[in-house]
Amino acid sequence: MVKHIFSPTFFQFTNRRIGRRIFGKIQTYLYVTPVYAFIALFVAYPVVFLLVFSLFDVPLNLKYTFVGLMNFERLSRDPKFFKTFIPAIVFVGGSVAGQNGFGFFLALLLNRKVKGVDFLRAVFIMPWLISDLILGYMFLILFDAHGTINEILKTFGLQRVEWLMNTDLTIWIVTLANIWKSSCIVMAMHSSGLQSISEELYEAAHVDGASLWRRFQFITLPLMRPFIALSLIITTVATFNYFGVIYIITYGGPLDSTTVPAFYMYRWALEWGQLGYASTIGVFILIINIIFTAAYVKILLR
């Protein structure tokens, strides 16, 4: 027995077995290395860069002056920044509700095995392909003082409405533009989720006498919960960081009624040349996005 353990054959077998285990572990790490590299390059590095920038006073000539937490103290005493959350509530809340509600409704309508449904999906996805510049000018033409909608009102004998000069209406106009542009992405996500649900579940429920609403309540909604959570996370984070239509249609006006935090950050960075203070605003926006994401995951993916 002892002679067998110390034989050359036994050592060769043991070395090969250990070598295979080591190679298997190395191979596993090699498979996930591109993922970690992608996360480090496109997620971790920008976040660290943002945090470091927020500790400096950085004008557009990129001359760094360390100020510590002074930017955060300055932000806590900036009334204009906190004022941007008033239009942000309407813009983000209205956009998320409209995009997910309308997108889910479209996905349900197009979840039919009928002729031409693929063509309709392609048509509904087209708004996403339109650039923010074209989208903005479309809505400018619609809601201008002498635009299409006012001409229609004039035809029916109604007075013109100064849509883009009304501080109560402008935020709803840019919200409508954002809903029109991004609902198709929500539709695409929910369509893939609906198609993953087995038809046998609906057939069994129908045989048991479940109504259409019951099938939707106890089959569709529970199985669509992960897709709904993902859609809410993506639309909330994307909208909170988005200001393209605001830039084109209103440029934050009138009287800052459409200035949201992301647009306020943009103005401090590229218009007023305070990259450090803009980064501090970016850190605050990042924290809010993390809170929203954690809340959605905790509530919807329990």
Q: Residue 227's domain is classified under what CATH number?
A: 1.10.3720.10
Question: pLDDT tens-digit profile of 232-253?
Answer: 999 999 999 999 999 999 999 8
- For residue 62, tell me if it sits in a domain: no
> How many other β-carbons are positioned within 10 Å of the β-carbon of residue 189?
20
pLDDT at 3: 47
User: Does 112 reside within a domain?
Assistant: yes
Report which of 259, 300, 298 is spatially closest to residue 281, judged by C-alpha positions.
259
132 lies in the same domain as 279: yes
Query: Angle at the Cα of 229 (from 225 to 230), degrees rounded to 5?
Result: 120
Residue 58 within a domain: no
Which regions in the chain score pLDDT beneath 50? 1-7, 10-11, 13
Predicted confidence at residue 42, as pLDDT, reads 76
pLDDT value for 174 = 95
Same domain flag for 88 and 34: no
Single out the residue of 235, 240, 246 nearest to residue 135, CA to CA. 246
228 and 109, same structural domain? Answer: yes
The answer on 37 and 88 residing in a single domain is no
Note whether 42 and 123 are same-domain residues: no
Burial label for 129, CB within 10 Å (0-12, 13-18, 19+), is: exposed
Position 277 in a domain: yes
| Residue of 255, 220, 274, 219 lying closest to 80 (CA atoms) | 255
Establish if 66 belongs to a structural domain.
Answer: no
Same domain, 117 and 42: no
Q: How high is the pLDDT of residue 10?
A: 44
Instruction: Say whether both 19 and 103 belong to one domain.
Output: no
Cα–Cα dist 109/121, whole Å: 10
- Same domain? 292 vs 221: yes
6-55 confidence digits (pLDDT tens): 445 544 545 555 556 665 667 677 777 787 787 777 778 888 888 998 99
- Let me know whether 122 and 23 are in one domain: no
Place of tokens 């639309």: 235
Q: Are residues 261 and 137 in the same domain?
A: yes
Domain limits for position 46:
2-53
Query: 3-class secondary structure for the chain?
Result: CHHHHCCHHHHHHHHHHHHHHHHHHHHHHHHHHHHHHHHHHHHHHHHHHHHHHCCEECCCCCCCEECCCHHHHHHHCCHHHHHCHHHHHHHHHHHHHHHHHHHHHHHHHCCCCCCCHHHHHHHHCHHHHCCHHHHHHHHHHHHCCCCHHHHHHHHCCCCCCCHHHCCCCHHHHHHHHHHHHHHHHHHHHHHHHHHCCCHHHHHHHHHCCCCHHHHHHHHHHHHHHHHHHHHHHHHHHHHHCCCHHHHHHCCCCCCCCCCCHHHHHHHHHHHCCCHHHHHHHHHHHHHHHHHHHHHHHHHHCC
pTM: 0.85
Structural domain includes residue 29:
yes
Residue 95: its pLDDT value, please?
A: 95
Domain membership of residue 68 (yes or no) is no
State the Cα–Cα distance between residues 243 and 241, nearest whole angstrom.
7
- In the block, residue with structure tokens 């950050």: 265
Region for residue 118 given its phi and psi (left: phi exceeds 0; alpha: psi -120 to 50; beta: otherwise): alpha
pLDDT at 11: 44
**Does 59 fall in a domain?**
no
Count of structural domains, the chain: 2
What pLDDT score does 24 carry?
61
